[in-house]
Structure 1
């Protein structure tokens, strides 16, 4: 069934409206779009006539979004962004085969990126676009084909595939280990403990697992493992870090295990995708490839 034309306004009308809504100014919107003020005003008025809805309050020389206009502006902005992204993807790979993947920053930089040449060599027709995300998001609002995240595998509206478990180890600089000479889990309470916002209770869980006092565990807080690892390297405290993400630091001695007592976290790493992308060829190829890479990586370190 065809959508009535009034609900599919011309792109020029929508661009003029979105720019004016974002800047709260016809003049500034006209400058951005390289149009005259009257042209932008006419396009917005044409859009209002088409929708039969007033989008702005007009007060002397200023404009202000109506409540309906404000909600419509958000939707239009997202729609224009999706169209722009689709056009860029098509231009980058006119024969198709694009995979838009959201990935955790440290996982992407430390584990995934060094291995991507292997994937692209095996699939030369595929274009892979990466963006970083710290948390899960709504696939309906983000133009992503898939995402790699850490959690329980419960992502509403998405299918998930478990990639690997996570084991964290207490790590610190050699100088800090020399200073405190940890011998038992409780000894770590004498040193500053560093925390990650995505695992706020990690230290309490580790301490309880190893029968050490777990009350009032305080310390510096960070939002990414890469920053946390750098601060631990600088000797500012002990951090619980995923062992597979700090292999280089452990190998070179920039970080050492404060105690060789790992803990498996309750969550794991997952590949997730919207249900309507399950059979997208680049996604199925990536899913098979990353499974093989993780299997090989796990076998090496077991």
Structure 2
């Protein structure tokens, strides 16, 4: 249950937000189309409700206190969320918007090519995408859900497992013409391209080949699979890719698989969402769709 004394009237918050952004009562009054005296009264009312001084007054100038600066950071984000929600209702009254955080390579290589099908099947629903690499709080970020790599441990969230990560090593024809690979031991002197967030991936792959990682088998460190793919295509080394990405490059002839493909790793891809948004229609529809699409594409099926 929300307590009204902690929920100031929107007019008070808009006046406060305008003063903080404009840096003066005069600027806030011009922005909101109100008189300076009205803005001053609204600020005083907000201070009275919060029982905290938000501005130090000196010769008709307002200097925000540290409490005001902290409050502004939170209130500004909350007003943005309210504005986006209102715009969504106006633009999409019968559908809704899904704000989704997603890993960049998964978004561009798997999700984006399939998203038109989802949107055509669900007219009225729109999807906004933003990339995120690290864990964030759903209370602090305006997302309805996130697709990420790891375990089912996103804080304060419910989870749907999309697929287990499996590794396939790939290289270009140009690279293999100079570095033929008949067995794991032939990778001892090769450049093994690595992802910063998967430091144990090559060890898992060598274990899956029944072979210990050779001494001195190292290579470039990268922070995105898309960068690793391009490096491998250019002949800079051997890329270790999630199998769903490797299959794209293999099918299109840009890379060739090396030895045993689809070696099991230790992580998975997940869809996570805050429990309070579990009934959000765009999220529920997307959740059902992506689960069915994963099964249709057989992305998560084990390969021997």
Task: Give the shorter-chain TM-score range.
Answer: 0.7 to 0.9
Alignment of 1:175-254 (within 5 A): 175-210=174-209, 211-213=211-213, 218-254=218-254
- Distance between the aligned counterparts of 1:15 and 1:117, measured in 2? 38
Q: Which residue of 2 aligns with 1:168?
A: 167
Using the TM superposition, name which of 186-195 and 49-58 deviates more.
49-58
**Is 1:284–2:262 an aligned residue pair?**
no
1:80 aligned onto 2:79: yes
Residue-by-residue CA offset, 1:226-268 (whole Å, 9 max, x unaligned): 2221222122222211121243321222122243443212111
**Distance across 1 between alignment mates of 2:141 and 2:164:** 26
Aligned positions of 1:80-159 closer than 5 A: 80-159=79-158
| Count of residues in Structure 1 that have an aligned counterpart in Structure 2 | 300
Pair 1:274-2:274 in alignment = yes
Alpha-carbon contact 1:153-1:270 (below 8 Å) kept: yes
C-alpha displacement at 1:209, in angstroms?
A: 4.2
Residues 1:230 and 1:37: Cα distance change in structure 2 (over 3 Å): farther
Alignment match, 1:55: 54
- 1:26 pairs with 14, 24, 35, which one? 24
- Secondary structure of the residue aligned to 2:94 is coil
SS of residue paired to 2:287: helix
| Structure 2 CA distance for partners of 1:9 and 1:279, relative to 1, 3 Å | closer
Q: CA RMSD in A?
A: 3.3
Structure 1 residue 159 displacement after superposition: 0.9
The alpha carbon displacement at 1:85 in A equals 1.8
Counterparts of 1:164 and 1:54, CA distance in 2 = 52
Residue pair 1:203, 1:217 contacting (<8 A) in 2 also:
no
In the alignment, the residues of structure 1 paired with residue 223 and residue 297 of structure 2 have an alpha-carbon distance, to the nearest angstrom, of: 26
Which deviates further from its counterpart, 166-175 or 131-140?
Answer: 131-140
Encode CA deviations 1:5-44: one digit per residue, 9 max, x unaligned. Answer: x533344543454455468x43996599477995797354
Q: Check conservation: 2:187, 2:214, Cα contact below 8 A.
A: no
The TM-score with structure 2 as length reference comes to 0.82
Structure 1 contact 204–217 (Cα < 8 Å) conserved: no
Question: In structure 2, what is the Cα distance between the partners aligned to 1:36 and 1:255?
Answer: 64
Under a length normalisation based on structure 1, what TM-score does the superposition of the two structures give? 0.83
Instruction: Decide whether aligned partners of structure 1 residues 204 and 51 sit closer, same or farther in structure 2, where only a CA change above 3 A counts.
Output: same
Distance in 2, Cα, partners of 1:224 & 1:32: 46
Q: How far 1:70 sits from its partner (Å)?
A: 3.0
C-alpha change, 1:3 and 1:112, in structure 2 (3 Å) is same
| Alpha-carbon distance in structure 2 between the residues aligned to 1:113 and 1:191 | 33
CA contact (8 A) 2:171 2:239 kept: yes
